[in-house]
């Protein structure tokens, strides 16, 4: 984000509102709600000097570190790295504080995130410096000279989507200050791996790999001259190609491993045609090789896997990471499958002092073993999930739905699902049918029904019965087919869209738009082929060696479908080969409305019909698979006849992912890109970063619901920004020298647990109050909450000195529900600030000042006013607190809540009275002597518990207990509670008379 403004043209910068550009939105923070289940991890490492310390590098979540053997993981790259995609991590052998990271994952999926070069830490990952190779693309390996940590080698695969000069082997001798390209074959061949010879780091092995992805195929390998294994014996000055015993024809991805106990032994796992693919072994430092195995599991999906590693104490024990994880104990001749927590294996590291202590990674995260892989640490402590899309249902609170890469679909609550939900230690999460690709869409009006796509297959899932009924269009498994031969071409993430006008109408896209009115039992096709369908792009994916046809490379399919919310039958579609289409009559006629100046072939990631003007729509087009990372956001206001490019303020390499329009404020737009969020308040003319505390990661989808901004990401799960009401206020674009109090959104009166750290980050119930201060201030900001009668309920001050008289002030208010307190979260900094009022009115008195009058009951539903006072100026805004709809369904209405609250306040008043009486009694005892003292002590025993275990509960604790069972709920007071209150009132009156303090 630090380089954003260099991309703004001088003309647009002048035109853009200075206030908007300089506005700080940091007070509006996102919260992460998980899932805590791990996502794809492509590299791991450890350090023998600190056996409990390990690192993982995720494909979209950055670098994480554990120092307790994988029990807990913490991100250490946020705020430092410009990309979340990690290719290799290496720790200096003689200093665990020195860590080098190569960005850009080496598993070249279509959604791979580009690398941004090398990073270095000299304090164990607390801080990082960028040290160059910004254009190296994906980095396959990093090696540190064990004799000098300033000497580092890098294997650069290159740009995954186009040829580039930066592919090659690099070396630095000054810790990354300068780099030298030591080996380069061509602009299409990079290097997937390199190894240094133990005992002589001037001997280097490097594995060349020709690789590139397009939207329609995977290129992995080429002619023999375009790949293979290279060796240098003089620190990279000269290189020879190793050939004896190796495949002489087509050759693809290669990974290497050198024995640390016998440097003459070198292994290579090689992608090659037929039985030539497999593991090769050299016992003479690469002069000759012998193939030890052609087991197909060793070269399964080589572009994605291909990793070999040796036991550091035994060269005959070999590990192969693919799908599955394989182990050999006889030098690579025979292999057995190892059990790991998740499939799709990518990397492994074994402690050289104890090879039974190891870390391994896969598409489910990273896992540590203390016993050679018999048992593993959990993957449910790494919030690194890759989520394809986001949807929400209409529960209270609403739940969030999405599909996790190489895992299940999931639904998780946006906030604590109940007042008794456990926070910080567990998460409510359910599988809702379908599979890893999604989308997964809850049915409006019946959240127990969920529509799913699984790699082109449609199904309807019932959360109550756990049954998913498949009604796939064509009823055919499309895996492995040449797309030109398919009747229906479906992307793995084929779109599903529920009509906003009729929840029984569901659309799904192949190359056609399909429609069902009965949950898929009957489908009708309502469009012609709405794609470009270029014949030369309809091919078997995977060349020239390994077929890989999973639907991810099916080109010329629909990628997005949206029906206008304000005009039924107005449907927009976008294809993954760059075609935008429109029907205004429910599919009877279609028009190609692709922007005329738009470069062809891009993926129309999202379409957003305007919710204010039927002629207006927005699209997001992604061309990164064609080697073009430029963002393309477009807007039309004439049903697609003309389009306007909307990218001013977005950096030139922030590939566009999704654009959504606010449903309340026209012109308020949110854009998700490859590296984060942006907001526009003038209908896309200008954009401002809207990243706040969000980590750098691709934003895959956005939805705006009940005033919240909900995101899915490709590497960090779901995030929620609660209450964007302030952004809808026109005043936000013209903030100047006067304080501004923004109108709070109406707030549902949920009962939720107190907020706690960790996952999921459920918010606690409260009214979010946003205000703007034109300058930094100290001790001069105050908020008051007024009820419908304009009576003050609570006063919150930023100045602790102003609340020193709070005790006396409240005491003098008698039965008033008002109280004042100091809160250091009531910020006084310049710019936009946010305060969350917990809806609490006055509680019971306590002899501990920090607790006195705090944690009172929640105020009842109704109309309220917030009053902001800055220095001598005051501002007011109204808002409403609403009944929890779940309570309303239960029959608990505003009258019952008010009656219960009145009763609860009587109990609290009695508790205050009793506690004050006890305090006065104890003070009087200290002053008294003789019979008077004995008499008062007998009274104290009647109201205060004795010391020790399990004392009999006396009067004051009994009143406190009644307060406990009455508080925290909304109900009709029970008869026993009413009678108990009367009894306790009489008891207190009796002991007061006996004490005769006044």
Three-state SS for 930-976 is HHHHHHHHHHHHHHCCCCCCCCCCCHHHHHHHHHHHHCCCCCCCCHH
CA 44 to chain centroid, in Å, comes to 21
CA distances from 152 to 59, 179, 396, 827 (A): 22, 9, 54, 47
Largest CA distance in the chain: 109
pLDDT of residue 527: 98
Helix or strand (DSSP H, E) at 903: helix 894-927
**Angle in degrees, 0-180, between the axes of helices 975-995 and 930-943, rounded to the nearest 10:** 170
Spatial CA neighbour of 942 closest among 930, 952, 929: 952
pLDDT value for 4: 33
Give the pLDDT confidence score for residue 494 in this predicted structure: 97
**What does the pLDDT read at residue 15?**
34
Q: Which residues have C-beta within 8 Å of that of residue 719, sequence separation ≥ 6?
A: 30, 31, 32, 33, 694, 710, 711, 713
pTM of the shown model? 0.94
Task: Please give the pLDDT value at position 16.
Answer: 36
Q: What is the pLDDT of residues 725-773, one digit of tens each?
A: 999 999 998 899 999 999 999 999 998 877 766 778 888 899 999 999 9
Q: What is the spatial distance between Cα 554 and Cα 214, in angstroms, rounded to a whole number?
A: 11
H-helix or E-strand spanning residue 30: strand 30-34
pLDDT value at residue 815: 45
Token match 């040449």: residue?
Answer: 482
Residues of the chain with pLDDT under 50: 1-21, 805-815
Cα–Cα distance measured from residue 632 to residue 603, given in angstroms and rounded to the nearest whole number:
10
CA 271 – CA 209 distance, rounded (Å): 10
- Residue-wise pLDDT for 590-631, tens only, equals 999 999 999 999 999 999 999 999 999 999 999 999 999 999
The reported pLDDT for the residue numbered 20 is 46
């Amino acid at each position: 984000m630090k380089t954003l403004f260099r991309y703004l043209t001088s003309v647009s910068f002048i035109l853009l509102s200075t206030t908007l550009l300089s506005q700080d939105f940091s007070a509006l923070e996102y919260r992460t709600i998980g899932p805590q289940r791990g996502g794809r991890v492509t590299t791991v490492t450890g350090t023998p000097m600190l056996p409990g310390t390990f690192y993982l590098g995720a494909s979209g979540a950055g670098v994480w570190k554990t120092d307790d053997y994988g029990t807990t993981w913490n991100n250490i790259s946020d705020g430092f790295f410009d990309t979340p995609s990690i290719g290799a991590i290496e720790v200096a052998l003689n200093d665990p504080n020195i860590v080098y990271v190569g960005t850009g994952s080496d598993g070249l999926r279509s959604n791979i995130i580009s690398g941004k070069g090398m990073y270095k830490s000299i304090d164990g990952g607390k801080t990082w410096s960028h040290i160059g190779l910004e254009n190296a693309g994906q980095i396959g390996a990093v090696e540190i000279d064990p004799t000098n940590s300033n000497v580092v080698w890098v294997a650069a695969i290159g740009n995954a989507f186009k040829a580039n000069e930066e592919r090659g082997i690099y070396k630095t001798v000054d810790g990354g200050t300068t780099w030298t390209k030591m080996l380069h074959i061509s602009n299409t061949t990079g290097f997937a791996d390199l190894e240094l010879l133990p005992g002589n780091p001037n001997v280097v092995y490097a594995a060349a790999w020709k690789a590139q992805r397009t939207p329609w195929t995977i290129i992995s390998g080429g002619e023999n001259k375009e790949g293979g294994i290279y060796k240098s014996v003089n620190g990279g000055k000269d290189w020879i190609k190793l050939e004896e015993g190796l495949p002489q024809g087509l050759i693809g991805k290669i990974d290497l491993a050198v024995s640390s106990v016998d440097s003459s032994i070198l292994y290579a796992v090689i992608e090659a045609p037929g039985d030539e693919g497999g593991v090769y072994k050299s016992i003479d430092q690469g002069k000759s090789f012998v193939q030890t195995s052609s087991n197909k599991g060793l070269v399964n999906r080589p572009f994605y896997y291909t990793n070999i590693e040796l036991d550091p104490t035994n060269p005959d024990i070999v590990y192969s990471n693919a799908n599955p994880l394989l182990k050999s104990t006889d030098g690579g001749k025979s292999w057995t499958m190892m059990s790991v927590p998740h499939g799709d294996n990518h990397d492994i590291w074994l402690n050289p002092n104890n090879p039974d202590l190891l870390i391994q990674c896969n598409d489910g995260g990273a896992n540590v073993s203390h016993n050679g892989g018999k048992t593993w640490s959990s993957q449910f402590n790494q919030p690194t999930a890759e989520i394809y899309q986001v949807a929400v249902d209409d529960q209270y609170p609403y739940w969030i739905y999405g599909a996790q890469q190489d895992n299940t679909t999931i639904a998780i609550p946006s906030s604590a699902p109940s007042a008794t939900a456990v926070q910080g230690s567990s998460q409510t999460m359910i599988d809702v049918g379908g599979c890893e690709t999604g989308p997964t869409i809850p049915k409006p009006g019946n959240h127990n029904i969920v529509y799913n796509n699984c790699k082109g297959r449609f199904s309807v899932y019932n959360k109550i019965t756990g049954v998913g009924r498949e009604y796939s269009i064509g009823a055919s498994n499309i895996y492995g087919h040449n797309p030109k031969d398919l009747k229906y071409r479906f992307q793995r993430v084929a779109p599903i869209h529920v009509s906003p006008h009729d929840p029984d109408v569901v659309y799904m896209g192949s190359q056609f738009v399909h429609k069902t009115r009965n949950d898929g039992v009957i489908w009708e096709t309502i469009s012609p082929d709405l794609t470009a369908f270029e014949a030369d792009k309809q091919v078997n994916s995977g060349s020239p060696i390994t077929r890989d046809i999973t639907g991810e490379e099916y080109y010329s399919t629909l990628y997005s479908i949206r029906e206008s919310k304000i005009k039924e039958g107005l449907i927009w579609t976008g294809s993954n080969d760059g075609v935008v289409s429109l029907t205004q009559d429910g599919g009877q006629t279609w028009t190609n409305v692709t922007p005329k100046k738009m470069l062809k072939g891009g993926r129309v990631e999202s379409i957003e019909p305007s919710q204010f003007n039927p002629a207006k729509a927005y699209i997001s087009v992604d061309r990164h698979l064609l080697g073009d990372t430029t963002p393309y956001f477009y807007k039309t206001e004439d049903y697609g006849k003309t389009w306007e490019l909307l990218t001013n303020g977005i950096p030139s390499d922030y590939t566009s992912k999704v654009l959504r329009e606010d449903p309340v404020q026209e012109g308020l737009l949110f854009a998700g890109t490859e590296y984060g969020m942006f907001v526009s308040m003038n209908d896309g003319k200008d954009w401002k970063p809207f990243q706040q505390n969000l980590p750098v990661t691709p934003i895959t989808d956005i939805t705006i619901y009940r005033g919240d901004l909900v995101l899915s990401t490709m590497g960090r799960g779901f995030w929620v920004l609660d209450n964007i009401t302030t952004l809808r206020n026109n005043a936000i674009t013209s903030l100047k020298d006067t304080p501004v109090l923004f109108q709070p959104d109406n707030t549902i009166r949920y009962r939720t647990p107190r907020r706690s750290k960790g996952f999921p980050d459920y918010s606690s119930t409260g009214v979010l109050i946003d205000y703007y201060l034109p300058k930094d201030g100290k001790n001069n900001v105050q908020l008051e909450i007024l009820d419908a009668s304009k009576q003050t309920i609570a006063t919150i001050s930023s100045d602790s000195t102003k609340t020193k008289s709070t005790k006396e002030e409240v005491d003098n208010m008698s039965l008033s529900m008002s109280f004042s307190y100091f809160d250091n979260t009531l910020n006084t900094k310049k710019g936009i600030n946010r305060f969350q009022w917990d809806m609490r009115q006055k509680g019971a008195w306590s002899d501990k000042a920090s607790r006195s009058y705090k944690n009172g009951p929640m105020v009842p539903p109704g109309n309220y006013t917030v009053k902001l006072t800055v220095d001598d100026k005051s501002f007011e805004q109204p808002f409403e607190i609403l009944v929890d709809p779940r309570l309303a369904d239960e029959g608990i209405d505003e009258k019952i809540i008010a009656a219960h609250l009145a009763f609860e306040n009587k109990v609290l008043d009695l508790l205050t009275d009793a506690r004050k009486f006890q305090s006065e009694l104890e003070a009087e005892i200290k002053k008294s002597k003789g019979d008077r003292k004995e008499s008062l002590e007998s009274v104290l025993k009647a109201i205060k518990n004795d010391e020790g275990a399990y004392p009999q509960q006396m009067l004051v604790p009994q009143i406190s207990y009644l307060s406990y069972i009455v508080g925290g709920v909304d109900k009709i007071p029970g008869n026993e509670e009413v009678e108990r209150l009367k009894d306790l009132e009489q008891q207190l009156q009796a002991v007061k008379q006996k004490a005769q303090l006044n």
